Amino acid sequence: MERVEVTSLVDNCVDILLPSTEVAKRPVRRQDWFEGPQLIAEHGFSALVTLEMDGKMRSVLLDSGLDERSVVNNVDVLDLSLSNCEAVVLSHGHRDHAGGLITVKEKIGERKVPLVLHPHAFRKRMSKRPDGNFTQLPPTDRQKLLESGYEVIEKWEPTPLLEESALVTGEIRRINDFEKGYPVHYAEIEGRLVEDPLILDDQALVLRVKDKRLVVITGCGHSGVIDTVSYARELTGGRVFAIMGGMHLGGGLYEAAIPPTIRELKKPDPEFLIPCHCTGWKAVHQIISAMPEKFIQNSVGTTYVF
Q: Please say whether the beta carbons of 238 and 167 come within 8 A.
A: no
CA angle 6, 262, 21 (to 5 degrees): 35
Domains along the sequence of the chain with CATH: 3-305 (3.60.15.10)
Of 40, 50, 36, 35, whose CA–CA distance to 9 is shortest?
40
pLDDT in tens, 231-275: 999 999 999 999 999 999 999 899 999 999 999 999 999 999 999
Angle at 24 between CA 301 and CA 245, to 5 degrees: 70
How far apart are alpha carbons 239 and 62 in whole angstroms? 22
Q: What is the predicted pLDDT for the residue at 36?
A: 84
pLDDT at 175: 96
Q: Which of 77, 138, 75, 79 is nearest to 105 (CA)?
A: 75
User: In this predicted model, what pLDDT tens digit does every residue of 82-104 receive, in sequence order?
Assistant: 999 999 999 999 999 999 999 99
3-state secondary structure of 174: coil
Determine the average pLDDT of the residues in 273-288: 98
Q: What is the pLDDT of residue 225?
A: 98
Provide φ and ψ at 146, rounded to 5°.
-65, -45
E-assigned strand segments in 129-232: 134-137, 150-154, 159-161, 166-168, 185-189, 192-195, 205-209, 213-217
- pLDDT surpassing 90 at residue 305: yes
Count of beta carbons in the 10 Å neighbourhood of residue 191 = 5
Secondary structure, 3-state, 220-262: CCCCCHHHHHHHHHHHHCCEEEEEEEECCCCCHHHHHHHHHHH
Question: How do residues 194-237 score in pLDDT, each as one tens digit?
Answer: 999 999 999 999 999 877 799 999 999 999 999 999 999 999 99
